[in-house]
Amino acid sequence: MNCKEVQAAMIEYLDGALHPPAAAQIKAHIDACSECRREAEELQVLLTAMKNNNQEMPSPALRENFNTMLQSELNMEAMANILQDRGIAEKPRARVVPLSKAAIAGRVAAAIILVAGGVAIGMAIRSAPDTGNTAEIAKLRTEVNKMEKEMKEKDMLSLIDDESASQRIKAVSYAEQMANPDQQVIDALFNSLNHDKNVNVRLAALYSLSRFADRRPVRDSLVSSLGIQTEPIIQVVLINLLAEKRETKAIAPIKEIIINKKTLKEVKDAAQKGLKEL
């Protein structure tokens, strides 16, 4: 088997969906080919992230910044002021006594949870008596969600051009945590899908974009992308996605893939199947 054939069947191989003889052939190739071995390792990271994408985890940037936040009470004072202004936390009756490092750590950890998932606000809503502050609490939740969204977008855009393919995969995967990403994020994902030199980064970008494929502009751009893709695995996933969405604009580029003599048989089979669904 050559590299393109191996890469076209890589997902099925990693998922354990291939017959033993085919899996053995791919394993032998991966063991002997450093490039395909690296691709397999990166793709395994992506597949694992895809399977775990429902788990809410704090942003890596938040974890990396923990020690920095620990050294400064300014962040916590700002958060405390917000809570006090909204009537969620009791205003101090006297001058604040300097906290120990352990106490600061506890408060910083609470702030990270608050920013990452709004957990603290949810607990306050459930446990606090109804004092007429529901609207203010909802407003605070909106502010925190906006802050979280901006931080995730910043994390993504700062890593999207990193030299490390693994970091770029991590960057495009941040979009998984965004319910309504800005156009700048969508554009960055399409740039990765269409131009990144690493196939696994492109696949991760496509997976993230698939969440927004119900949007007409995104679907149109996916159709355009199909017309320029040459990597078998990207072609197959794109065809399946557009067929699932019953996107008739994809008929022309799918037909082009079928008549192209350079197209692998596996891709042509997927294209023929996709056409029948359209």
What is the per-residue pLDDT across 128-147, written as a single tens digit (0 to 9) for each?
A: 455 556 777 777 777 777 77
Boundaries of domain holding 73: 60-150
Residues 82 and 12 in one domain: no
The domain boundary, picked from 55, 78, 101, lies at 55
Element (H, E) at 139: helix 134-159
Average confidence (pLDDT) over 196-205: 88
If asked whether residues 47 and 90 sit together in one domain, one would say no
Burial 22-56 (b: 16+ CB within 10 A, else e): ebebbeebbeebeebeebbebbebbbebeeeeeee
User: What's the CA gap between 73 and 31, in Å, rounded?
Assistant: 52
Alpha carbon of residue 44 to chain centroid? 15
- Last residue of one domain, picked from the residues 150, 173, 207: 150
pLDDT per position as a tens digit, 14-43: 878 788 888 999 999 999 998 888 888 877
What is the rounded average pLDDT of the residues 99-122? Answer: 44
* Residue 92 clears pLDDT 80, i.e. is over it: no
Q: How many residues does the chain have?
A: 278
Last residue of a domain, one of 120, 150, 180: 150
| Integer Cα distance of 239 and 252 in angstroms | 12
Is the confidence at residue 217, as pLDDT, over 60? yes
Look at residue 55 in the predicted model and tell me its pLDDT.
38
In a domain, 271, yes or no: no
Report the C-alpha gap between 91 and 94 in whole angstroms: 9
Q: Record the pTM.
A: 0.54
Q: How far apart are CA 240 and CA 244, in angstroms?
A: 6
In a shared domain, residues 65 and 36? no
